[in-house]
Amino acid sequence: MKDLLSRFGFHCTPFTREFGIADRYPLQVYDDALKGLTEAIDQRMSCALVAPAGTGKTALLRSLVHALPEARYRTHYVKVTGLSKRDMCREIAAALGLPPAGTYPSLVRKLQENFTETSETLGLRPVLILDEAHDLRVEVLAMLRILTNFDMDSRLVLSIVLAGQPKLRDALRREELDDVAKRISHFATLRPLSRDETQAYIEHRCAIAGAATVPFDGGSLDAIFEIGRGNLRATDQLARKTLGIAHDSDAGTCCAAYVAQAKKVLWP
């Protein structure tokens, strides 16, 4: 029996998270979000990316880092949430390559000194990306106004990018976080794909994996959309599992019945 890749004409496993930035599916909503974030950072401001789970948030952050030239920016990425203010400062210090030790006030000073040195001595603009920010404690979110306060709030040194699910926006609407919210100059958003976009996305992922033809019939494409509702993560999981079931069935094309089987295996 042929292996799965050769059966469907792929040169690599399709529908995984391992794809290059240049291979990202082109969609206007993503391009608009990326443009808004990069423009805010170019203005030395802070911004936020709010997106439902599985809609491409992390992939867009990768594109954002790629879009910021290393000759002009120094980006730092942190994805640890649910921490105290001190522990979050320690995680940020570790991301900056600093010793993650000290009291909370000393850590804040250490971070601000590093950001200032990056800006003034190295001539680079520091950018701090906090992923999964919807899980940050209120007091940690409130701390961000301190991290971005330089020379009595008279200088723009550090750009912070908050990225998280919709409850991040809800958190920033809280009265005690009003000052933090006012420091966010741009909110970018993502959404699930439409039916037509889902079909085009699947065709695109098959093409970048090397397939000359799309091994999904119309019924299977409709079924993937009806089940996944345009969620990229669910679409990838369904498509990949459906291919496996079709292969095990010695079929050259995926049909709606195989998608239904895939759903039962993935989400019994």
Partner residues linked to 125 by β-bridges? 73
pLDDT band at 2, cuts 50/70/90? low
pLDDT one-digit tens code per residue, 194-242: 999 999 999 999 999 999 999 999 999 999 999 999 999 999 999 999 9
In this model, does residue 1 exceed pLDDT 60? no
Per the listing, tokens 């800006």 go with 119
Q: How far apart are CA 189 and CA 186, in angstroms?
A: 10
pLDDT one-digit tens code per residue, 82-109: 899 999 999 999 999 999 999 999 999 9
Does CATH number 3.30.70.270 belong to domain 28-189?
Answer: no
Domain ranges for the chain: 4-13+194-266, 28-189
CB neighbours of residue 238 within 10 Å: 26
Q: What are 259-268's contacts with CB under 8 Å, separation 24+? A: 259/220, 259/223, 259/224, 259/227, 260/223, 262/238, 263/227, 263/238, 265/241, 266/237, 266/238, 266/241
Does CATH number 3.30.160 belong to domain 4-13+194-266?
Answer: no
pLDDT band at 247, cuts 50/70/90? very high
